[in-house]
Structure 1
Amino acid sequence: MAAEWQGNTVGFRRATAGSTAAVLDILDEAAQWLAAQGVSQWPPRFEAAWVEGAISRGETWLVDVAGEAVGTVTLDRSDPLWADSPGPAAYVHRMAVRRRAAGLGALILTWAADTARAQAADALRLDCVASNTQLRAYYEAHAFTHRGDAPVGGAPGQRAANGPVTWVSRYELRLNTPDPAN
């Protein structure tokens, strides 16, 4: 999908092993900005091992504006955090933009919803640290519905079997929902 944002062409391309550094740079810039705002959403730096699997599976995308990678998003087809929620869904993870592309997130969410719909998903789901009230309000403003909070292991942004416990808020956007008037 190519779209327009602030008069520039926006494109989505799958990240490859060769673009791992670009993905990490975008995530690290966003993580450092969040930390400077006092938000414990992500670790200060991402490890390559945390993104390589999704990149190799073709689930991670780079978002280009005017030919420059300024954002990234991972769109998975499963997430153990949602094991209690049946139905085909797509899951947004590690969505981030460079500060100079602030405001691009809404277009990324629209792309993710359109992509999920095209893959016959009934829902687009995501989560964020429960204490991140600004991000929670952002998702709610974009028609996502809060579906409860859940504990995850590991530091914020990392899912691990051990380590500290972080509470996350789960959000869902229903897709392909029949019109109740029909």
Structure 2
Amino acid sequence: MTVEGNGDAVTFRRAVSGCTDEVLSVLDEAAGWLDARGVAQWPLRFEAAWVEEAISRGETWLVEVGNRTAGTVTLDWSDAIWADAAGTAGYVHRLAVRRRAAGLGTVVLGWAAGMARQQGVEALRLDCVKFNGRLRAYYEAQGFVHRGDVPVGGAPGQRQDGGPVTWVSRYELAFAGT
């Protein structure tokens, strides 16, 4: 699927099992950039096991600009941290762009919203670590509304039953007319 972004064609290609290293490369680059700025949004390195299941379910996408991988995103249809929320939604996870493609996030969020609307759900939802003020402001500028903070198990970027607890802020973009 191809959309326009900043005058360039942006292509969304479903990641397959052979794409794991490519997905990890984008995530690790973004995590390193965040860490250099003192933001513990994600671990410094992602483990393959953290992305392989979503890839095998066909929920992870590679985002290309000019035939070069510029980002990745996972779009799925359930998230346990939203179990208390009514309605149907699509859920954005692990959205990351390479630094050379800064600004692409808006295009990716627009694409995800379009995909969610095609599925007939009522909203697009996502989350980020509670203390990432810049990312929270960015989501709000994109029309997302804060829907509370919840604890999740594991280090930032992980979802585990045990381990340390990370507080995340939940955001929702409701679709009109659904």
TM-score, with structure 1 as normaliser: 0.96
Compute the displacement of 1:87 (Å).
1.5
Q: Secondary structure at the match of 2:41?
A: coil
Residue matched to 2:102: 102
SS in structure 2 of the partner of residue 51 of structure 1: helix
Report the counterpart of residue 127 of structure 1 in structure 2. Answer: 127
1:170 counterpart SS class: strand
The one-letter amino acid of 2:167's match is W
The structural deviation recorded for 1:93 is: 0.1
The residue number in structure 2 matching 1:4 is: 4
Q: Does 1:155 align with 2:155?
A: yes
Which residue pairs with 1:93 in the alignment? 93
Matched, 1:35 2:21: no
Report what 2:64 is aligned to: 64
SS, match of residue 64 in structure 2: strand
Residue aligned with 2:171, SS: strand
Q: Secondary structure at the match of 2:177?
A: coil
Tell me the SS of whatever aligns to 2:18. Answer: helix
SS of match in other structure, 1:158: coil
Summarize deviations over 1:74-109 as a string: whole Å, max 9, x none: 001000000001221100000000000000000000
Instruction: Give the 3-state SS of the residue equivalent to 2:26 in structure 1.
Output: helix
Q: Name 1:81's counterpart in structure 2.
A: 81
The Cα shift of 1:152 comes to 0.4
Count how many residue pairs are aligned between Structure 1 and Structure 2. Answer: 178
Deviation at 1:49, TM superposition (A): 0.1
CA distance in 1, matches of 2:6, 2:56: 31
In 2, Cα distance between the equivalents of 1:13 and 1:76?
15
* Residues 1:47 and 2:47 are matched in the alignment: yes
Aligned-residue offset at 1:3: 1.9
Identity of aligned residues (%): 66
Measure how far apart 1:4 and its partner are: 2.3
Q: Which amino acid aligns with 1:100?
A: R
Determine the C-alpha separation between the residues in 1 that align with 2:105 and 2:6: 13
| In structure 1, distance between residues paired with 2:143 and 2:86 | 20
* Residue 173 of structure 1: aligned partner: 173
Give the unaligned 5+ runs of structure 1. none
- Structure 1 Cα separation of the partners of residues 96 and 26 of structure 2: 7
Deviations, residues 93-152 of structure 1 (Å, cap 9, x unaligned): 000000000000000000000000000010100000000000000000000000000000
- In structure 2, the gaps of 5 or more residues are none
C-alpha separation in 1, matches of 2:66 and 2:162: 42
Given residue 173 of structure 2, which amino acid in structure 1 is its aligned partner?
L
What CA distance in whole angstroms lies between the structure 1 residues aligned with 2:33 and 2:164?
Answer: 22
TM-score by structure 2 length? 0.98
| Cα distance in 1 between the residues matched to 2:121 and 2:29 | 31
